[in-house]
Amino acid sequence: MTKKIIKKIKEHLSEIIRIKTSPHSIALGFAIGTFIAILPTLGFTYLIAIIVMLVYAKESKIALFGALLLWNP
């Protein structure tokens, strides 16, 4: 059971590493994620981030989510 979970995690991480995105896309995703994280949204931060991820296909979704994790505990 544990080996299955570890295998799935490794597969997902390898998919993330193989994603081909431009530096501009990564920076844009991180900037948008930082902006959303510092807004006083009272618990709706991740909901707003998901909506932004669905609307804007250009930015890096991983960078946006990473910025949210960095700025919000």
How much is the pLDDT for 20?
77
Tokens of 43: 């618990």
In a domain, 3, yes or no: no
Tokens of 40: 């006083």
Range of the structural domain that residue 55 is part of: 21-71
In a domain, 14, yes or no: no
pLDDT digits (tens, 9 = 90+) for 26-37: 888 888 888 888
Name which residue leads in pLDDT, 15 or 40: 40
**Rounded distance, CA 42 to CA 27, Å?**
25
How much is the pLDDT for 8?
84
In a domain, 12, yes or no: no
In a domain, 2, yes or no: no
pLDDT digits (tens, 9 = 90+) for 42-73: 878 888 888 888 888 777 788 888 888 888 76
Per the structure, how many domains does the chain have? Answer: 1
